[in-house]
Amino acid sequence: MFEEAHHLGATERSIVLQTKRGTPIDNAIAPAPGASAMRKLRLLIERCGANWQERKPPAGEYNCAGLVWASRRTAIYEPGLWLRIIEEDTYRLLTPVEEPLPGDVAAYIDVERDEMLHVGRVVDLRPAFQGGTLIPWILSKWSDVAGEYFHSFRDHPYDMLGFKVRIAFYTDRPAPPVRQP
């Protein structure tokens, strides 16, 4: 989302990045944010981020996928590569009866295009309200120029920006045993 560096073309800086199966993953180290990017980011936070908790201030270098899968070292821009990482690093979609746990991945998917817009890492389970059901809290980096933010999994900018999204959770945990009748 709002990937400034991606639209500028190759930065000529990348790292060697592969899936567990050894498939190379294209990436680019994003430059530090400029004044225009910082203005857009401030507007996004003003409009959507009232409840976000900043973990780290704005910086370049990586995007959401780089936060989740590349240890904050680079940006992975192509959602098709995100799916390849999910497949080749043996993530699986949580079933409807499974709860997301810290370490799992939250994927924000554009319903109309069936394409991932954003990924974040589940970092905590917190009550939705005093004494309420526990809900996932996510660590996100909304763009390659943004900072890192903690937020409720439903507290995202996509609805306000006109996207209809569904949220899917992926895990690298083994599947639960199948109960026999």
pLDDT value of position 145: 93
Return per-residue pLDDT of the chain as tens, 181 residues: 545 545 445 447 999 999 999 999 999 999 999 999 999 999 999 999 999 999 999 999 999 999 999 999 999 999 999 999 999 999 999 999 999 999 999 999 999 999 999 999 999 999 988 878 999 999 999 999 999 999 999 999 998 889 999 999 999 999 988 777 7
pLDDT value of position 143: 94
Domain ranges of the chain: 4-171
pLDDT value of position 5: 47
pLDDT value of position 117: 98
Contact 138/118 with Cβ under 8 angstroms?
no
Please write down the HEC assignment for all residues of 97-163: CCCCCCCCEEEEEECCCCEEEEEEEEEEEEECCCCCCEEEEEEECCCCCCCEEEEECCCCCCCCCCC
Phi-psi label, residue 54: left if phi above 0, alpha if psi -120 to 50, beta otherwise: beta
pLDDT value of position 3: 57
Q: What is the β-pairing status of strands 148-152 and 165-171?
A: unpaired
pLDDT value of position 176: 87
Maximum separation of any 2 CA atoms in the chain, in Å? 62
